[in-house]
Amino acid sequence: MEWTFVAVWVVCWSACQCKQQNVERIQSPRHPQPYPPNLQNRWHVWAPAGFKIQLWFTHLDIRASKDCSLDSLTIERDEKFLSKVCGQKNKTELSDKPVVIEGEEVKLVFQTRDFNPDLHQHTGFSASYVKVDVDECSKVQEKASGPVCSQICVNTVGSYYCSCYSGYKLQADHHTCILSCDERILNKHEGRLSSPRFPHQSPSNLSCTYVLSVEDDFKVTLTFTDFHVYSEDGDDGRECHHHWLQVMVPNKQPMVLCGGRSPGVIATNSSMVRLNYRTDVKGLSRGWSLTYKSLGNGCPNPAPGGIRVKQDHGHVCEAPQPLINGGVTLVSGSRNQHRSVIQYHCNQPFYSFPGGKNGKTAHCVTGTNVFTSLLDDGC
């Protein structure tokens, strides 16, 4: 609010400093000498749009008569009669009574009738005028009871413009401000959502959109905790012409909600839901409040009959067979375990395997319970 005040002050200050008021003068013929008879003098003063004419008299001495029917000064605005002046007034009486005239054209008509100049020594009039800026911000709309701007009015030289507070935006009419609630995208799996200013009255001319969007495998459920959206009674029941909440789900007919009854729980069966909330100047709505939650798809049921698992004991071997006149040496792994390797040997130099060999290896392999390559021949 403080920033707005400073901005308006700067605009007005700049206008006053940059554009000086030019004072113009109008006076009756021969002033300050007595004016002649049978006059019909006209002066036209033009004011541009956004300006008004401020006129004040510095001298007034016109022959007085009933209803100023003899000599007079007539003031007209845009061809419409405003006033007729005659008589005498001193400087003190005139200085504090300026005439302010709003309009594009002001016309002054000074007319006198036939008279004896030796008997009438009236000196006529002298007036000054300036064209001053119209403060449109202080006016009200002609066809409405409210101000020119719904929120902030900034007066400029010859014109004005409307502005809005933070969080609001100016409409196409350049006068009305509405709450700015452009499309919001919410991608959390659960949360709360409510209309602007809830639980207080919703502003007029709202146009809000909320999009709930989660992964495809999740489905959104809406649970309304409070609901009051203005509606009217029609021939077919409740009608949502001025205020409504629209719930849109892809590939489904939109739901249009209004009235004072809560919709309760809405299972959308969709991963994306669009909510459109609208209000206008007719009717009052307290608005709505809801919670939303997204649940994922469950796991499929197991196949009928269950799943079979084969048990395997082939990872353990029996102890190596004993060798007469010889022995067993572990080459790798752990004794009697899967993939372990042993070697048979004869007691040298007196014993050996047939063929002169002095060693044979054996492996513990999965799927069997004995070492392979067992000895068929002794030492």
Burial class (CB in 10 A: 0-12, 13-18, 19+), 343: middle
- CA 131 to CA 322: how far, in whole Å? 129
Amino acid at the residue 327: G
In the chain, domain spans: 24-133, 148-180, 183-296, 326-369
pTM over 0.85: no
Output the DSSP codes for 26-67: EE-TTTTSPPPSS-EEEEEEE--TTEEEEEEEEEEEE---GG
Output the DSSP codes for 209-231: EEEEE--TTEEEEEEEEEEEB--
CB 75 within 8 A of CB 101: yes
Half-sphere exposure of 145 (CA within 13 A, CB side): 0
Question: For domain 24-133, is the CATH number 3.30.465.10?
Answer: no
CATH superfamily of 183-296: Spermadhesin, CUB domain (2.60.120.290)
CB 277 within 8 A of CB 179: no
DSSP 241: S
**pLDDT digits (tens), the chain, 379 positions:** 333 333 333 333 333 334 456 889 999 999 999 999 999 999 999 988 889 999 999 999 999 999 999 999 999 988 889 899 999 988 777 866 778 888 778 999 999 998 887 778 899 999 999 998 888 888 765 555 567 888 899 999 888 999 998 778 888 889 888 777 778 889 999 999 999 889 999 988 888 999 999 999 899 999 999 999 999 987 777 899 999 999 999 999 999 999 999 999 999 999 999 999 999 889 999 999 999 999 887 655 655 555 565 555 545 577 777 778 788 887 777 666 666 788 887 887 777 777 666 677 766 655 455 555 555 566 6
- Give the torsion sign (CA, 196, 197, 202, 206): negative
Nearest to 60 by CA among 11, 115, 105, 108: 108
232-257, pLDDT tens digit by residue?
987 777 899 999 999 999 999 999 99
CA distances from 377 to 203, 293, 347 (A): 103, 77, 14
Return the structure tokens found at 287.
């608005």
271-294, pLDDT tens digit by residue?
999 999 999 889 999 999 999 999
- Domain 148-180, architecture per CATH: Ribbon (2.10)
Nearest to 269 by CA among 245, 299, 294: 294
Residues in the chain, how many? Answer: 379
